[in-house]
Amino acid sequence: MESVSVVTVFLRHRGDVLLRKRSDDAGSYPGRWDAVAGLVEAEDPAETARTKIREGTGLGGDAIRFVRRGAPLEVADEDRQTAWTVHPFLFDARTRSIETNGETDEVEWVAPTALLRRPVVPDLWTSYRRIAPTILSIADDETHGSAALSTAALEVLRDRAGALAVTEHVGEEQARGRLVDVTDRLLAARPSMAAVHNRIHRVMDACAPELEPAAVEAAAHTGIARALDADRRAAEQTADRVAGKRVLTLSRSGTVLEALLRATPAPEVVVAESRPAREGVDVAETLAEDLEEVTVCTDAAVAALLAEGDVDVVLVGADTVRPSGAVVNKTGTRGAALAAAREDVPFYAACAADKIAAGEEARTEEGNRRAVYDGTRALHVRNPTFDVTPADLVTGGISTEDGIYDAASVPARAEEAASRSSWREAL
């Protein structure tokens, strides 16, 4: 049996992935659906992955972004006497406009669960599962904000429901139990992130009490598009508030990042490095690709920089907004808010309204202690991931897709979230 190494590259855009129907001229598996794929032609399969994206779709450079690489898998095809070593990759694409080559008859952007319903190349679903988000990857993620993690949670729920609908032949009650179980595990993975909870609850509430897997699959996929639209509109609203200003921010918020890049005229931005993961440095580097004036500073310097009087606005994201209007966000947010209030600098939190939580319950997460201290002394170590900024320190308000929320307007939205979280009562 011949051994052949190939890459299988899933391009993702707004929750869909690109599938290509192989033409009669394809060297293998004509008429079947595949992702972007090809023979490994470089020492590092990642280099081949980018080459195959460019050759198969015309996309490259800033039009694609690497997300993750999956563990290789072995696929034996007895009919072809070929042992494939498949190297799976996931890239995000900024556009769906692509070019095709002679090996492709058709292309479609579809939910990944479409792989379960089409004639595909061998083990394509297994390849996808190697790069798909998981409950563990969501729980362990210390880089992305809650907007990104909430859509990842919806992807997990969609994929699990799709598998139950197509390949796992179980009874209605057992399917319902499995969906409730994966929901509970997703909610427990990020207990402090209201967007994860609200977006998952919206799907389950819409499908209860039956929780029929195909219905949950469809609702979760629709929920991804809805969430991305809400996050985009929140960024657009926020961009108007920071246009042409000198803005201080910290940590990583997709909404904040997009708002700063959309703002016209372009703002000047100061980014706190956001220890211990220092995701703020990556944000500063990303901003510097498009903005002329970007500064990175230590977290400890935030108060001093605000005191210098050279900052017009402090803008942060929010992992959760409590019914009181208090903002739960990356540790360092409260200190920045206190310093901003002392210097009379407006302080905004930017997020989709789905981040408004149903209750005031205090939920905290601790990061890796070794990120703070990896010595041998018997020290107690604290590495809280989030802190709580009281509503009265959020002086500019909470900038959402619906406009500015102040502390008085938050409770009504919290009541809506609470009503959607009661779907279990109907089971």
Residue 79's alpha-carbon distances to 1, 21, 32, 83, in angstroms, are 10, 21, 16, 11
Query: Which residue among 319, 374, 402, 406 is the active-site one?
Result: 319
* pTM, two decimal places: 0.87
Q: Which range, of 14-18, 148-152, 166-170, 299-303, averages the lowest pLDDT?
A: 166-170
**What is the predicted pLDDT for the residue at 305?**
97
Does 319 qualify as catalytic in the annotation? yes
**What is the predicted pLDDT for the residue at 285?**
97
- List of residues 6+ apart from 72 with CB closer than 8 A: 85, 86, 87, 88
Residue 107 has pLDDT above 70, yes or no: yes
Q: Which two tokens stand for residue 325?
A: 């209007």
Q: pLDDT grade, residue 95 (50/70/90)?
A: very high
Collapse the DSSP code of 4 into the 3-class scheme (helix H, G, I; strand E, B; otherwise coil) and give the result: strand
Rounded mean pLDDT, 140-160: 92
What are the residue ranges spanned by the domains of the chain?
Answer: 2-131, 136-230, 235-418
Q: pLDDT grade, residue 35 (50/70/90)?
A: very high
Measured from the Cβ of residue 287, the count of other Cβ atoms closer than 10 Å reads 21
SS (H, E, C) 64-94: EEEEEECCCEEEEECCCCEEEEEEEEEEEEC
- List of residues 6+ apart from 215 with CB closer than 8 A: 207
For the structural domain made of 235-418, what CATH number should be given? Answer: 3.40.50.10470
Q: Are 308 and 377 in contact (CB under 8 A)?
A: no
Q: Are 226 and 238 in contact (CB under 8 A)?
A: no
**What is the predicted pLDDT for the residue at 362?**
58
Residue 27 has pLDDT above 90, yes or no: no
**What is the predicted pLDDT for the residue at 104?**
85
Residue 189 has pLDDT above 80, yes or no: yes
Encode pLDDT of 202-255 as tens digits: 999 999 999 999 999 999 999 999 999 999 999 999 999 999 999 999 999 999
**What is the predicted pLDDT for the residue at 24?**
84
Encode pLDDT of 379-402 as tens digits: 999 988 899 999 999 999 999 999
For the structural domain made of 2-131, what CATH number should be given? Answer: 3.90.79.10
Please give the single-letter amino acid code of residue 143.
T
Give the chain's mean pLDDT. Answer: 94
Encode pLDDT of 347-384 as tens digits: 999 999 999 999 877 566 788 888 889 999 999 999 88
Please give the single-letter amino acid code of residue 108.
E
